[in-house]
Structure 1
Amino acid sequence: MTAVFLATIFLFIFVARTHCSSQETDDGVQEPTLCEVCKFMATELQTRLDETGKSKEVIETGHGLDSKKKRKKYHVSELRLIEALNEPHICDKILEYNVHKEKKGSLRFAKGRSETMTALHGLVDKGVKVELGMPYEMWDKPSAEVTQMQRKCFNLVEKYEEEIEDWYFNHQDKNFMNYFCKNMVLSPDNNACLNESPELPNTSKESAENTKSKRESNKLKGDHGNGPNGKTEL
């Protein structure tokens, strides 16, 4: 009985957090910004290209009996770009993201279940009845924000098709997100999301404590140090 009571309180807290976050718009949906759309499109395209960037494959173009077939390295070929953009379409990868309402800015879009949905699924697995106003099988379907970002992604790729091709054939040595999103698509006062990244597992506090512990340990061994004059080198 106690476990069920605690689970109910736990559910209430998470649903309350989600509800409060969704009040940012009248209908509870915070539409993705152009910066967010460009950021995640660029992330997915760069990831796909990185997967094939080191390929040493050479492709031939021309008719079967043509003795003057052209040979070109795959990693700089048009075929590689077409495959990266369309097999499946790069914007369909956006549907793998979920909204993590406990996170701020563009970090609210991430792959995997959010803390809220993980907790709710955990309650269901424990036999707790959870009502969210939708069938259970719909819980993990793409949210309105994600489907909006996918649609805007299609529009972005179509609008800037030539610019993407120009980067691929002539400027691959430059970071795509900066070259495309920062310098072409977004204005200087609307590109802040490009600098948002997940926090590292080790916090600065933990690093400071580890450094302090290491120094104290070295002091204890100072008489047997490895540095000049028997001192420990830090």
Structure 2
Amino acid sequence: MFYVWSVLGFLHLVSFVRGDKFEEEKYGVKFASECEVCKVFTEEFSAKLEESSKKHEYVKSELRLIETLEGICDRVLQYNIHKERSDSTRFAKGQSETFRTLEGLVSKGVKVDIGIPHELWDKPSAEITQLKTQCESLLENHEEDIEDWYFNNQVILF
């Protein structure tokens, strides 16, 4: 958890790519803000660092950093949009309350028509797909900043 705040604080100081403004009222789509992209990236980066933190000699190795960054934005596709939330937790893993309720209705035999075929309910939404793109842009634009933090500024707790 310490990594989350350490990386988040570092990346917060760095300005990065802004998400495009989109006509939310027209399409019902609200893309992630810079803060939301940074938060999701930081959570995934920290989680991957934690997964590999068992080996002390590996803690600040270049190989660990490369392995941590590899595929990090692909992990964003495991997220779902939780439109019932309005803060940064609207991007989270797990099924949204809305879709959980709809799935419950379907399992009881109720015909639910929301304009999206049932087989697409679990596929990444436009917001999540755009979040992945924003994550990739953040990584591309700030790879040197992340490397600098990793090798020179991270605090390691044993």
- TM-score category of the 2 structures, normalised to the smaller one: 0.7 to 0.9
- In structure 2, the gaps of 5 or more residues are 1-22
Cα deviation, residue 101, structure 1: 1.1
Counterpart CA distance in 1 for 2:50 and 2:129 is 26
| 1:137-169 CA-partner distances (Å, limit 9, x unpaired) | 101111111111100110110010111011111
Q: Among residues 68, 74, 81, which one is paired with 1:99 in the alignment?
A: 81
Aligned counterpart, 1:37: 37
Paired residue secondary structure (2:51): helix
Q: Considering only aligned residues, what root-mean-square deviation do their CA atoms show, in Å?
A: 1.5
TM-score, normalisation: structure 2: 0.80
- In structure 1, the gaps of 5 or more residues are 1-22, 57-72, 175-234
TM-score, normalisation: structure 1: 0.55
Pairs within 5 Å for 1:71-220 = 73-86=57-70, 89-173=71-155
Relative contact order: is structure 1 or structure 2 higher (C-alpha 8 Å, sep ≥ 6)?
Answer: 2
Aligned residues: 134
After TM superposition, the runs of 4+ consecutive aligned structure 1 residues lying more than 3 A away are none
Cα deviation, residue 50, structure 1: 1.2
Counterpart CA distance in 2 for 1:145 and 1:24 is 11
Cα deviation, residue 53, structure 1: 1.6
Paired residue secondary structure (2:59): helix
Counterpart CA distance in 2 for 1:129 and 1:165 is 51
Aligned counterpart, 2:46: 46
Identity percentage of aligned residues: 54
Paired residue secondary structure (2:80): strand
Cα deviation, residue 134, structure 1: 2.2
